[in-house]
A and B are shown apart, each in its own frame.
Chain A
Amino acid sequence: MRTIAVLFLLVACFVATSSANTGSAISGKITDSETGEGLPGVNILLVGTVLGTTSDVNGEFRMGGLPTSRVDLRITMMGYKQVVKKDIELKAGETVRLSIAMQSTVLESPEILITANKRRQNIQDSPNSIGVLTARDLAAKNQVYLDDLLGYASGVNFVGSQINIRGSSGYNYGAGSRVLYLIDGVPVMPGDSGDIKWDLVPASQVEQIEIIKGAGSALYGSNAMGGVVNIITKKATARPATQIRYSAGFYDKPAYEEWRWTDRLLHFDNLDLDHTRMIGSSLNLFASFGRHQSTGYFQNGHYQRWNAAAKLFWRLTATANLTLSTQYEQGDRGAALLWRSQRYALQVPPQAIGDYVESDKFNATAIYKQALNRKLGIKTRVSYFRNFWENFFHDNQSHSTAHRFGFEFQADHQISENNVLTFGSEESWDHVISQLVGTHDQTVLSVYAQNERRLVDELHLTVGVRFDHHTVDIGFADGEWSPKFGLVWHTAPQLSLRLSTGRGFRAASMSERFSEGIYSGLRLVPNPELKSETAWSHEFGANLRLAPHLFADMAVFANDYWDLIEPEPDTDQTIQFINLTRARIAGAEVTLKWNGWKNRLGADLGYTFLYPRDLDRQTWLAYRSRRLLTASASLTLAAIETGIDYRYAAKLDREAVKLYPNDDRVDQQVVDLRLTLNLAAHQITAQVKNLFNHNHTQVERTLLPIRHFMLTVGTRF
Chain B
Amino acid sequence: MVRFLSVLALLLAAVLSIACDSGLEPTRSGFRGRITFVGEKPADTDQVIVVAATRFPPTQIDEIFLGEPLPLDRETVDYTVYSPITDYAAIGVVWKQQNQPWDVTNIIGIYLPTSNGFVPGRVSIADRQTMVDSVDIQAHYSKVKRAVDSSVSGRLRASGQWPSDSESLLIFASTELIPSGLLDLQFGAPIPAPFDSIDYRLTIQPGTYRLFGVLLIRIGQPLDVSAIRGFYSRTAGSPFPSSVVVPTDTSRITGIDIAFDPSKAPFTASH
State yes or no: do A and B come from one complex.
yes
> A256 within 8 Å of B by Cβ?
yes
Q: With a CB–CB cut-off of 8 A, which chain B residues contact A646? A: 18
Determine the residue in chain B with the shortest Cβ distance to A646: B18
* Known pairs A349-B68, A662-B84, A694-B21; A571 contacts B26 (CB<8 A): no
Q: Contact partner of B58 among A344, A345, A571, CB < 8 A?
A: A571
How far does the alpha carbon of A695 sit from the alpha carbon of B27 in the complex, in Å? 13
Segment with Cβ contacts to B, from A171-179, A377-385, A428-436, A663-671: A663-671
Count residues on chain B whose CB falls below 8 Å from chain A CBs.
Answer: 39
Q: With a CB–CB cut-off of 8 A, which chain A residues contact B65? A: 660, 662
Q: With a CB–CB cut-off of 8 A, which chain A residues contact B189? A: 570-572
Q: With a CB–CB cut-off of 8 A, which chain A residues contact B86? A: 662
> A518 within 8 Å of B by Cβ?
yes
* Known pairs A666-B24, A695-B24; A522 contacts B102 (CB<8 A): yes
> B96 within 8 Å of A by Cβ?
yes
Q: Is the CB of B61 within 8 A of A570?
A: yes
Q: Is the CB of A573 within 8 A of B26?
A: no
Q: Is the CB of A695 within 8 A of B23?
A: yes
Q: With a CB–CB cut-off of 8 A, which chain A residues contact B47? A: 351
Q: Is the CB of A518 within 8 A of B101?
A: yes
Segment with Cβ contacts to B, from A290-298, A335-343, A403-411: A335-343
| Interface bits A648-662 vs B (CB < 8 Å: 1, else 0) | 000000000111111
Known: A569-B62, A664-B25. 15 other contacts (CB 8 A): A258-B26, A341-B67, A343-B28, A351-B47, A569-B61, A572-B189, A573-B101, A646-B18, A657-B62, A664-B24, A692-B18, A695-B22, A695-B23, A695-B25, A703-B24
The distance from the CB of A393 to the nearest CB of chain B, in whole angstroms, is 13
The distance from the CB of A151 to the nearest CB of chain B, in whole angstroms, is 16
Q: With a CB–CB cut-off of 8 A, which chain B residues contact A523? A: 101
> A259 within 8 Å of B by Cβ?
yes
26 contacts between A and B (CB under 8 A): A255-B22, A340-B68, A341-B27, A343-B26, A343-B28, A345-B24, A349-B68, A349-B69, A351-B47, A518-B101, A521-B102, A569-B62, A570-B189, A571-B59, A571-B189, A572-B103, A572-B105, A572-B189, A573-B102, A658-B62, A660-B62, A662-B84, A664-B25, A667-B21, A692-B19, A695-B25
Q: Is the CB of B101 within 8 A of A342?
A: no
Q: Is the CB of A666 within 8 A of B26?
A: no
The distance from the CB of A127 to the nearest CB of chain B, in whole angstroms, is 35
Interface residues of B in 38-82 (CB under 8 A from A): 46-47, 54, 58-62, 65, 67-69, 82
Q: Contact partner of B26 among A256, A574, A661, A694, CB < 8 A?
A: A256
Determine the residue in chain B with the shortest Cβ distance to A671: B18
> A693 within 8 Å of B by Cβ?
yes
Q: With a CB–CB cut-off of 8 A, which chain A residues contact B83? A: 662
The distance from the CB of A646 to the nearest CB of chain B, in whole angstroms, is 7
> B183 within 8 Å of A by Cβ?
no
At the interface, is chain B mostly helix, strand, loop or mixed? loop
Q: Is the CB of A694 within 8 A of B102?
A: no
Q: Is the CB of A694 within 8 A of B27?
A: no
Q: With a CB–CB cut-off of 8 A, which chain A residues contact B84? A: 342, 662-664
| Interface bits B1-40 vs A (CB < 8 Å: 1, else 0) | 0000000000000010011011111111010000000000
The distance from the CB of A443 to the nearest CB of chain B, in whole angstroms, is 33
Q: Contact partner of B101 among A341, A522, A658, A666, CB < 8 A?
A: A522
Q: With a CB–CB cut-off of 8 A, which chain B residues contact A571? A: 58-61, 104, 189-190
**Minimum-distance CB pairs A-B, first 7:** A343-B82, A695-B23, A523-B101, A521-B102, A258-B26, A342-B27, A695-B24
> A696 within 8 Å of B by Cβ?
yes
Q: Is the CB of B101 within 8 A of A574?
A: yes
How far does the alpha carbon of A278 sit from the alpha carbon of B104 in the complex, in Å? 65
> A350 within 8 Å of B by Cβ?
yes
How far does the alpha carbon of A657 sit from the alpha carbon of B61 in the complex, in Å? 12
The distance from the CB of A20 to the nearest CB of chain B, in whole angstroms, is 63
How far does the alpha carbon of A259 sit from the alpha carbon of B82 in the complex, in Å? 13
Q: With a CB–CB cut-off of 8 A, which chain A residues contact B22? A: 255, 692-695
